[in-house]
Amino acid sequence: MRTVNRNLETLIRRVREELRAEGPDGAGYSDFSIVEAFNSAMYNLAEEFPVKDTITFTTVEDTGEYSLDEVIGDVEFENIIRVLYDGKQIRGIALESFFAIENPSEGPVEQWVFWGDRFILVGKVEAEKEVKMYITRAPKKLMDKDDVPETPYYADEALAQYAIAACYRESRDYERANFHYGIFLRLKDSILRRGTPQAQREHRVTMRDSYWGPVSDKDGMDTSDTNPGGRVD
């Protein structure tokens, strides 16, 4: 497995080297601005590659409701993919379905639901049963110099280009900002192709400028009017 020496400190150094190479004011940007740009870039990439994680907690007897702060803490989760109760998968239900249950604290635990900031297990909850939640979440913010980005190592250059563009935008050098942001977008597309399994690439949704081009008889389309100009010979 490839080992890469990477952390926030090395990423900042990479950005400053690029800025100094393009102009004498390369060292004039604050670390705070560069770090904020890194975090914004990670959130941007996370739209395509959300971080997958697991959250595990232990139940209390006859207690079906749990505060998200207690269960998940300060994790900014986006979606719950799967929930296991005592090793068995249970399914999520809508609030309307939950309200329709006459005795939600009776019977086996086979469902779960969110209500506000509460995670609710539907059924009679036993003591010390493990609940495992498979989630997607936002990447953790980079703060300390030894922090390692949760994006893959091959996305580091994209993070750097985004930060360089942000620095130039801050100094109103929009030409350079747009140039480096364009590099970021190309790298992002490359990362998307690299991160998508080969078997799924043909099924990705793509956007086009138009649904189809102009249609002509040469494309095999029949016409019913054999004399479209109305000319009489």
Average pLDDT, integer, range 28-45: 92
> Is 65 in contact with 119 (CB distance < 8 Å)?
yes
Q: Are residues 44 and 55 in the same domain?
A: no
Q: Are residues 58 and 132 in the same domain?
A: yes
Q: Are residues 80 and 90 in the same domain?
A: yes
| pTM score of the predicted model | 0.67
Q: Are residues 120 and 92 in the same domain?
A: yes
Assigned domain for 216 exists: no
- For residue 215, pLDDT over 70 is answered with no
Q: Are residues 61 and 128 in the same domain?
A: yes
Assigned domain for 102 exists: yes
Q: Are residues 133 and 163 in the same domain?
A: no
Assigned domain for 169 exists: yes
Instruction: Report pLDDT for 41.
Output: 95
Range of the domain at 113: 51-137
Q: Are residues 22 and 131 in the same domain?
A: no
Assigned domain for 229 exists: no
> Looking at the 3D structure of the chain, how many domains does it have?
2
Q: Are residues 56 and 17 in the same domain?
A: no
Q: Are residues 128 and 59 in the same domain?
A: yes
Q: Are residues 12 and 127 in the same domain?
A: no
Assigned domain for 202 exists: no
- For residue 210, pLDDT over 50 is answered with no
pLDDT band (50, 70, 90) for residue 108? very high
Greater model confidence, 125 or 117? 125
Instruction: Report pLDDT for 137.
Output: 86
pLDDT cut 90: percent of the chain above it: 55
| 119, 137, 155 - which closes a domain | 137
Instruction: Report pLDDT for 83.
Output: 96
pLDDT band (50, 70, 90) for residue 178? very high
Assigned domain for 1 exists: no
pLDDT cut 70: percent of the chain above it: 79
Q: Are residues 40 and 101 in the same domain?
A: no
Q: Are residues 144 and 92 in the same domain?
A: no
Cα 67 from Cα 205, distance rounded (Å): 37
